[in-house]
Structure 1
Amino acid sequence: MYGEVVSTRQLGSHLVRVVLGGPGLDGFTTTGNADEYVNCYFLPPDAPYAPPFEDEAVRDLPRPQRPRPRRITVRSWDDARRELTLDIAAHGDVGHAGRWATRARPGDRLQLRGPAGGYHPHPDAASYLLVGDESALPAIAACAEAVPEGRPVTAVLEVEDAAGEVPLHSPGVLHVRWVHRTGHADPEGLLADAVRALPPAPGPVSAFVHGEAGATRAVRRVLLGEGVVDEQMLSCSPYWRRGLDDEQWRAVKADWVRALAAEDVTA
């Protein structure tokens, strides 16, 4: 499956909205999950092929020429127009996904597989807490739009500075707290400190905590260690790790996630 770029738009300083369409998306069917994502395949500059391509055709190529798979959140799917909107975190020339998004032009093609996903704001929660950085902002925005009408929802979002802030909308009663990294030498605890400072929310609380690995771990310790959220009502996943590039993080992510799940936050 592949999509053709219909349009691109800069959202804040580190987020690019890419709208895909075309006949290559004829087989797309949404899962309906708030954290829905697709596996996208970004090509290296010297790739001797272009989308659409068969997996078998690229599997035996030298590693530098193979596509780089990345999970990208589905911001929205317009079934009537058959258009897929992806909001992609972009930090200059760093990262295959962000680099492609900043350079994408109408007519460019992007191969993808999916969609998949498994989270939706818990319907029986009394309130909702959404926490993350730019990498999780598209999923958090989708989650905010999926909460039941009238219920309180708090989003705590880390960005570089005020230029990275973007509007969020929700049928719930939405409160957004922006946290800026600028001026902090070690930002790993910024989100955890901001969450700890929040006033008590009506329970039970359904929480979605995604983003940088160390930051999500710190927030998880606050939420579970201080009894803010029951573990069954918490979705917590690391998307990336500060100090590691994409390939380095992919090599250690599974071990990191297992260690996180086994951690005793009450000790």
Structure 2
Amino acid sequence: MHGEVRTTERLTPSLIRIVLGGPGLNNFVMPDDDTDAYVNLAVPPRGATYGPVFDPREVRETHPREHWPARRRCTVRRWNAAARELTLDFVVHGGSGAAGAWALAAQPGDVLVFNGPGSGYHPDPTVEWHFMAGDESALPAIAASLEKVPAHARVVVRLVCDGPEHELPLESPGRLDLRWVHRTEADPAPLLAAVEAASFPGEGVQAFIHGEAEETRALRRHVIRERGVSRETMSCSPYWRRGMSDEQWRSVKRDFVAAMNSEA
């Protein structure tokens, strides 16, 4: 599957929105109700000798490893079924990482190959309390999820970023308690303290915690051990790990997640 770049927009210094369209999306089907849908991108390296529309499996079978596309996961921000347009928000860190570098250079008409979507979470409309926490990498899923929280429910959100210029306006039909915290040299991971200070019950809460690996693990421990949130009503996923490249993180992610999920 593939999409053609329709528009690009710099939302914040660290976030780029790209809208894809074209006949390559004719078979795209969004999972019902889920708000953390993602696609698996195939980003060719510079100097790739194959065309913009390609079969990743065929490339791996017929090209040397240095020409293989990088596989990266990207959260769907919005799917417009009527217009057949797919909106993806990319986190960019100075051009590091295959997906971020592609997004920084993307122009209308460029092609992005991917497969999917996959998903696994949506706000339960019967729940009275929702809790969400994360960083820039979790923003697309959290923003989409907030739009699905019903008006009767309360939703507590704590987000971390590098400064006010990285914040995005977020809205929800639900009763929203949203606070941002900012990283500093003295405190590069202030999210846990912000969550510890937040007011929400443990029982009956549906939780969504995604973002940097160590922060995600610390938040998971807190809401389970200190708040009494059930693991069965929690979506918890580390997207990246501080100090590691994308490839380094991909090589250890499975073991990290298994160890995290085994904790009481």
TM-score range, shorter chain: over 0.9
Q: Point out where structure 1 has 5 or more consecutive residues left out of the alignment.
A: none
Q: What is residue 222 of structure 1 aligned with on the other side?
A: 222
Q: 2:116 aligns with which of 114, 117, 120?
A: 114
Shift in Å at residue 197 of structure 1?
0.4
CA displacement, residues 138-188 of structure 1 (integer Å, 9 cap, x when unaligned): 111111111122311111111111110011111111121101013335x24
Q: Distance in 2 between matches of 1:172 and 1:202?
A: 18
CA displacement, residues 28-50 of structure 1 (integer Å, 9 cap, x when unaligned): 01103110011111111111113
Which of structure 1's runs of 4+ aligned residues deviate more than 2 A?
182-185, 200-203
In the alignment, does 2:9 pair up with 1:9?
yes
Q: Distance in 2 between matches of 1:41 and 1:17?
A: 18
- For the 8 Å contact 1:127–1:202, the answer to whether it is kept is no
Tell me the secondary structure at the aligned position of residue 10 of structure 1: strand
Letter in 1 for 2:47: D
Q: What is residue 256 of structure 1 aligned with on the other side?
A: 256
Tell me the secondary structure at the aligned position of residue 36 of structure 2: coil
Shift in Å at residue 52 of structure 1?
1.4
Letter in 2 for 1:62: P
Q: Point out where structure 2 has 5 or more consecutive residues left out of the alignment.
A: none
Q: Distance in 1 between matches of 2:29 and 2:48?
A: 29
Shift in Å at residue 56 of structure 1?
3.9
In the alignment, does 2:22 pair up with 1:45?
no
In the alignment, does 2:67 pair up with 1:57?
no
Shift in Å at residue 124 of structure 1?
2.6
Instruction: Pick closer, same or farther for the CA change 1:71–1:155 going to 2, 3 Å.
Output: same
- For the 8 Å contact 1:7–1:19, the answer to whether it is kept is yes
Q: What is residue 245 of structure 2 aligned with on the other side?
A: 245
- For the 8 Å contact 2:156–2:200, the answer to whether it is kept is no
TM-score (norm 1): 0.94
- For the 8 Å contact 2:42–2:56, the answer to whether it is kept is no
CA displacement, residues 44-74 of structure 1 (integer Å, 9 cap, x when unaligned): 1111113311234311322221101111000
Q: What is residue 183 of structure 1 aligned with on the other side?
A: 185
Instruction: Pick closer, same or farther for the CA change 1:260–1:202 going to 2, 3 Å.
Output: closer
- For the 8 Å contact 1:131–1:208, the answer to whether it is kept is yes
Shift in Å at residue 202 of structure 1?
7.7
Tell me the secondary structure at the aligned position of residue 136 of structure 1: helix
Tell me the secondary structure at the aligned position of residue 251 of structure 2: helix
In the alignment, does 2:159 pair up with 1:150?
no
Q: Distance in 1 between matches of 2:126 and 2:165?
A: 35
Moved more, 37-46 or 196-205: 196-205
Q: What is residue 25 of structure 2 aligned with on the other side?
A: 25
Shift in Å at residue 203 of structure 1?
4.5
